[in-house]
């Protein structure tokens, strides 16, 4: 995505949390930027560099943040916009593309790069084995940007099709009931024995991984920092003496 202006905009995925899970490419992109834009807690994860200007904004202001960053790049700045995890998964890369589509012609002439990162579901899956070892999908449970009936339709279709389902944005103070409703819907389609993984703050010091069955899964275990992975009927547990079980989805299906 190369343009004719001197400024640049790079959207950078920081990984799920710890600095050890940030890619060298992301680190280099952050280091070479003059200005960083992002949600405050994500910006705080970017290594400090002297002379670099940071613009923190609220989590709900993605489009405004993207537009501001694009305007600065058009003015000649080397700008990085940061996201947790991967920048293209429920994150800022799509907001930047949307701002380019809606914005002035100058935005389309910019050099725009997207640097990938380790997304939450991969960090959580890696902690327990290989639950994403066969076909899977990711669904955001937030109904801020789509109607709840559409979430229900997608959940049901994914479960009926045999996908493992990774749920992002499962619960928040403003959306307290959606995860319980999702479990109830999935219990109508899937066996109660299907494994459910609650992966909280994967890769951070306060990480917590909890295993349950779909029948017993308690929405209260999740918070905003949790990615919930719901197995398919093929997903299984391998019990081990003195160690947590391995959870995996076999590579083949019938
Ligand atoms: C707006 S989405 C951003 C996702 C991010 N772009 C990614 O690729 O992971 C925020 C959601 O990602 C999930 N999430 C982000 N970081 C996480 C982590 N370290 N552990 C578990 N889930 C995480 C949670 O479901 C959270 O509600």
Q: Which of 118, 134, 163 is the last residue of a domain?
A: 118
Residue 108 sits in the same domain as residue 151: no
* Separation of alpha carbons 241 and 123, rounded Å: 24
| Same domain assignment for residues 211 and 167 | yes
**In a mutational test of the pocket of ligand 1, which residue from 58, 81, 120, 210 has the highest number of ligand atoms less than 8 Å from its CB?**
120
Any domain includes 34: yes
- How confident is the model over 152-206, as pLDDT tens digits? 999 999 999 999 999 999 999 999 999 999 999 999 999 999 999 999 999 999 9
Range of the domain at 227: 121-248
User: How many angstroms separate the alpha carbon of residue 15 from the centre of ligand 1?
Assistant: 9
Residues 219 and 104 in one domain: no
The closest of 181, 126, 161 to 234, measured between CA atoms, is 161
Q: Whole-number mean pLDDT of the chain?
A: 96
- What gap in Å lies between CA 28 and CA 76, rounded to an integer? 19
Cα dist from 16 to 66, 77, 120, 200, 252, whole Å: 21, 27, 5, 10, 29
In the structure, which protein residues have their CB atom closer than 6 angstroms to any atom of ligand 1? Answer: 16-17, 83-86, 89-91, 119-120, 123-124, 168-170, 199-204, 224-227
Give yes or no: residues 72 and 84 share one domain: yes
Can you tell me the mean pLDDT for 103-109? Answer: 97
What pLDDT, on the 0 to 100 scale, is given for residue 3? 53
Domain with residue 241: its CATH number is: 3.30.950.10
Report the separation in Å between the CA atom of 227 and the middle of ligand 1, taken as the mean of its atom positions. Answer: 6
Alpha helices in 50-177 (DSSP H): 62-74, 92-102, 105-108, 120-128, 148-160
- For tokens 């909890």, what's the residue? 210
């Amino acid at each position: 995505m190369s343009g004719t202006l001197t400024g640049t905009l790079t959207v950078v995925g920081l990984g799920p949390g710890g600095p050890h899970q940030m890619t060298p490419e992301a680190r280099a992109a952050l280091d070479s930027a003059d200005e960083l834009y992002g949600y405050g807690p994500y910006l705080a994860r970017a290594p400090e560099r002297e002379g670099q200007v940071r613009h923190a904004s609220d989590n709900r202001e993605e489009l405004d943040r993207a537009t501001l960053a694009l305007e600065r790049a058009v003015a000649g700045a080397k700008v990085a916009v940061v996201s947790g995890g991967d920048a293209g998964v429920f994150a800022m890369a799509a907001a930047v593309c949307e701002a380019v589509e809606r914005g002035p012609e100058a935005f389309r002439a910019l050099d725009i790069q997207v640097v990938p990162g380790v997304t939450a579901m991969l960090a959580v899956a890696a902690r327990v084995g290989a639950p994403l070892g066969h076909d899977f999908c990711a669904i955001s449970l937030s109904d801020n940007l789509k109607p709840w009936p559409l979430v229900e339709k997608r959940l049901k279709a994914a479960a009926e099709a045999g996908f493992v389902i990774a749920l992002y944005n499962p619960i928040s103070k403003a959306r307290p009931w959606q995860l319980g409703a999702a479990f109830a819907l999935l219990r109508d389609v899937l066996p109660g024995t299907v494994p459910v993984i609650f992966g909280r703050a994967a890769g951070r010091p306060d990480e917590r991984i909890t295993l349950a069955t779909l029948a017993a899964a308690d929405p209260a275990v999740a918070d905003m920092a949790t990615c919930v992975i719901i197995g398919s009927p093929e997903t299984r547990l391998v019990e081990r003496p003195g160690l947590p079980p391995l959870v995996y989805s076999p590579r083949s299906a019938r």
